[in-house]
Amino acid sequence: MKLTDIFAVPTPETRIPVPYVIAEAGVNHEGSMEIARRLIDEAAEGGAQAIKFQTYKAGTLASKDSPAYWDTSKEPTKSQYELFKKHDSFWKNEFEALKKHCDATGIAFMSTPFDVESAHFLNDLMDVFKISSSDITNKPFIRILCDFGKPILLSTGAAHLHEIAEAVEWIEEKGNKLALLHCVLNYPTADEHAALGMIPALKRHFPQHAIGYSDHTLPKDMHILETATLLGARVLEKHFSHDKSLPGNDHYHAMDKNDLRHFFERLAGTLASVGDMNLRALPEEEPARRHARRSLVTARAVPAGTEISAADLTWKRPAHGISPRNYDEVIGMRARHDLDEDMVLHWSDLDCGDKA
Ligand SMILES: C=C(OP(=O)(O)O)C(=O)O
């Protein structure tokens, strides 16, 4: 599947598709091109269709007085500015090189721009713009990104419905295709705070747009991403690391390539058990249809020529004879020959008699 395919207008589904997975490398390269290339390779090995980085300069993203609002024990920092400053070394040249590496590896390149300058050079490298939850109220920036004319992936973390609706309106006014990613802006998100019920809620409120999920829970057994898929997320984004034991801010809650493989494996089994969502009896149930269902059976001996009444009939397994669904038809027919008690009735045992 191509990244742009996820923006197709949702139609009633008869099969839950395998979602499009974006490995969110963010700044987990920590300024090393070697690690960035490794992240690309491992995301592809894990089965992700896209890898996403983040492109920012601390000075345009946060003022010096910008308190960190996350658990700073993982990467002690006094302010957001100080943390971003540590990770803002990659710029145009680095991302161009990483895009080439993605092309050679066969995985889509993405990076979330956090300022206008990076949006301009990233525009040459990507088919889709990602807008982070933190920019959902950033009307001027959203409009500038829309002006590139590309589909938009917008995360909805920390937003009330009216704020989501407003941002959707700005994007719709510009005419860009849009996918909305449910997101909880809390790192790591406790499973019980993942609020995955917001995925069907987004589908209900914005049926004209594709819906996905940007996940900040711990990877554990990847059941949260699986549940998100079952609830209707068709694009998934989750932090990605080559080494989850590293001390940095975004490594400890990230998935790695083994988590990703595990996710696709368990999802394949789950989706096989979901099936195609069409109501029908299955071929595997044929023996049960023939042997566990019932037939009309004589409740007592019935002499030839007798008009069949309710007292002559009962219903028992197997379903080799006349189905009890034909009960009304059988009442009033006549026995074509003597019928023993406990006989499974067939049409050849009966005449229409007065019912003809
Ligand atoms: C932080 C980002 O997004 P989200 O709000 O989905 O976490 C991002 O895209 O860089």
CATH number at residue 108: 3.20.20.70
Closest CA to 239 of 31, 28, 18: 28
ipTM attached to this prediction: 0.99
Any ligand 1 atom below 6 A from CB of 130? yes
Contact 241, 48 (CB under 8 A): no
Contact 219, 45 (CB under 8 A): no
pLDDT 10s digits, 28-78: 999 999 999 999 999 999 999 999 999 999 999 999 988 888 777 777 888
- Helices in the chain by DSSP H: which ranges? 33-46, 58-61, 80-86, 92-105, 116-123, 139-146, 161-174, 198-205, 223-230, 257-274, 286-291, 327-330
CA dist., res. 78 & res. 90, Å (int)? 22
pLDDT 10s digits, 132-182: 999 999 999 999 999 999 999 999 999 999 999 999 999 999 999 999 999
Which DSSP category does 344 fall into? B
Residues 6+ apart with CB under 8 A from 45: 257, 261
**Whether residues 176 and 300 fall in one domain:** no
- pLDDT for the residue numbered 138: 98
End residue of a domain, out of 218, 247, 274: 274
End residue of a domain, out of 274, 308, 332: 274
Closest CA to 298 of 342, 337, 330: 342
Given the DSSP bridges, would you call strands 50-55 and 108-113 parallel, antiparallel or unpaired? parallel
**Whether residues 192 and 240 fall in one domain:** yes
Residue 276 has pLDDT above 70, yes or no: yes
Q: How many angstroms is it from 128 CA to the middle of ligand 1?
A: 14
- pLDDT for the residue numbered 31: 95
Q: How many angstroms is it from 155 CA to the middle of ligand 1?
A: 7
The count of structural domains within the chain is 2
Contacts within 8 Å (CB) and 24+ apart, 218-221: 218/188, 218/191, 218/253, 219/244, 219/253, 219/254, 219/255, 219/256, 219/259, 220/191, 221/262, 221/266
Specify the range with the lowest mean pLDDT, choosing from 30-39, 90-99, 249-258, 334-343: 249-258
Tell me the pLDDT band of 311, cut-offs 50, 70 and 90.
very high
Residue 21 has pLDDT above 80, yes or no: yes
**Which residue type sits at 10?**
P
Any ligand 1 atom below 6 A from CB of 54? yes
- Using the atom order of ligand 1, give the atom closest to the CA of residue 214: 6
Per-residue pLDDT, averaged over 10-20, amounts to: 89
pLDDT 10s digits, 98-108: 999 999 999 99
Per-residue pLDDT, averaged over 300-329, amounts to: 98
CA dist., res. 79 & res. 233, Å (int)? 34
CA dist., res. 59 & res. 87, Å (int)? 12
CA dist., res. 229 & res. 20, Å (int)? 10
**Whether residues 208 and 321 fall in one domain:** no
Q: How many angstroms is it from 106 CA to the middle of ligand 1?
A: 23
Any ligand 1 atom below 6 A from CB of 182? no
Best-predicted range by mean pLDDT (72-81, 204-213, 244-253): 204-213
**Whether residues 61 and 207 fall in one domain:** yes
Name residue 154's beta-bridge partners.
Answer: 131, 180
**Whether residues 144 and 238 fall in one domain:** yes
Any ligand 1 atom below 6 A from CB of 111? no
Any ligand 1 atom below 6 A from CB of 155? yes
**Whether residues 116 and 61 fall in one domain:** yes
Token pair listed for 265:
């494996």
Tell me the pLDDT band of 318, cut-offs 50, 70 and 90.
very high
The model's pTM: 0.92
Q: Is residue 167 assigned to a domain?
A: yes
End residue of a domain, out of 274, 306, 332: 274
Per-residue pLDDT, averaged over 2-31, amounts to: 91
CA dist., res. 220 & res. 258, Å (int)? 11
Any ligand 1 atom below 6 A from CB of 189? no
Specify the range with the lowest mean pLDDT, choosing from 69-83, 235-249, 262-276: 69-83
Domain range for 50 is 17-274
Residue 299 has pLDDT above 90, yes or no: yes
CA dist., res. 157 & res. 136, Å (int)? 8
**Whether residues 70 and 212 fall in one domain:** yes
**Whether residues 256 and 290 fall in one domain:** no
pLDDT 10s digits, 206-219: 999 999 999 999 99
